[in-house]
Amino acid sequence: MKYLLSITFICFSYIRFATSSFCYWNTACSYRYFSSVTPYSAVRGDIRDSVINIKECEPVSIWGLFRHGRTHPAAKRAGKMKEAISIRDLVVSSYEKGRCSLCAQDIDNLRDWPVNYDLFEKTNALQDEGYQDMFGIGYRLKTVFPQFLDKLEHESYLFKPSDHHWSKESAEAFVKGLGSQNLVIDNQKILNGPDFIFNDGIDSSQKEDESIDEANEYTISSEFLAANDRIQRRLGIDYSLTDDNITALYDLCRYSWSGLHNKASPWCALFTTEDLKVLEYIEDLVHYYKNGYGRKNASQFGHKPLQDLLQKFQRAKEGKGNIITAYFILAETLEATFTALGWFKDSQPLTAVQKGRDRFWRTSKFSAFSSNLFMVLNRCTNKDVTDYHVMFYMNEEPLRSVCEGGICSWGEFERILSPFLNSTQRYSD
């Protein structure tokens, strides 16, 4: 199934060599894949265009995992980003002395960039872009299934966010996008026993450094050191950039990119496309060894949502299930679920010395802000014979190779999900 999950980026940046580098401001297609900070607009489809319709079939139930919308960075990250803003003056000064290889317009854009203090002070807050993205997903689903999702009764749906204010606000935006009145979001936290919504897939007792060892190894690799050297020479500043400085500048680039208005951040001009790919890979390594195939038993943390999916659809077949079930989660749960399914798995593990340009594990693709995985159960009737089919969608595009043509028979669906039905999820390695 790996060929299904390969990632193709159709937009390429053409490097124009002038004195020594390219001009970012007028690059035909700026690189905008920033691991889990990637804007949803960079990866999403449109369910209105891509929905699979089968003759003589009607939707019975929708089940989905929805990562929260775009947020401001966490406090620790935000603090380092705020400190790194002072490097801007060094870059401008370097350009004026003829040492910096950025283009004049890139320098103007960087100099004129207005400091958005909300970025540093309203940490983890849902941005307007994140709200609009989540609203849009709900709106488009309602547009595709207008009668099915109209006038939902209280016992016919479940909207459940994780216990984080940005997830709750994302759920509110999604529900508002559905356009139905008086829908209730279930904000009650389950206190007895593990629950995938609130554990968000990963045991909080895991030490942070256990998930970044390989990433740290990559920072001393020849590939990363070459990128570090390119950045230093490109900026032409006397100050020697540390790894923390480069990470903070990268965060300024990706957190101040506007996906809503498709407006690139002037901070991204500090990097070449190859530099951005190197920094993206560091993030992929962190996620791979925290939530993915690089962590022993990581797939166990994705069993619970898949178990819930199968049970919800089994009940829907019996006429007792929800019309729609939507969970609003963190990236950890989404990545652990993909790992449990065996998706985005490379033939060789990701390591500090083995970065495949065509790797399947690309968090920019499947773990961007507002990324989602949802399934639609359809009941089909032909000559008084009733059957059921399930369609898989990721980021509003059909996963056509999960089953032929993107349409899974009930038997195929059960074969995919049945291994998770009686699994025991353990929250330790």
pLDDT at 201: 45
pLDDT at 14: 36
Q: Phi and psi dihedrals of 172, rounded to 5? A: -65, -40
Positions in the chain whose pLDDT score sits under 50: 2-20, 191-194, 200-201, 204-207, 426-429
pLDDT at 191: 46
pLDDT at 423: 67
Query: Closest by alpha carbon to 176, among 55, 336, 69?
Result: 69
pLDDT at 307: 96
**3-state SS string for 208-219:** HHHHCHHHHHHC
Query: Closest by alpha carbon to 301, among 420, 187, 211?
Result: 420
361 vs 6: CA distance, rounded Å: 9
Tokens of 225: 């050191």
- pTM of the full structure: 0.91
| Domains defined along the chain, listed by start | 35-420 (3.40.50.1240)
* Amino acid sitting at position 235: L
User: How many angstroms separate the Cα of 132 from the Cα of each of 68, 128, 135, 263?
Assistant: 11, 6, 5, 16
Contact (Cβ atoms closer than 8 angstroms) between residue 379 and residue 58: yes
pLDDT at 6: 45
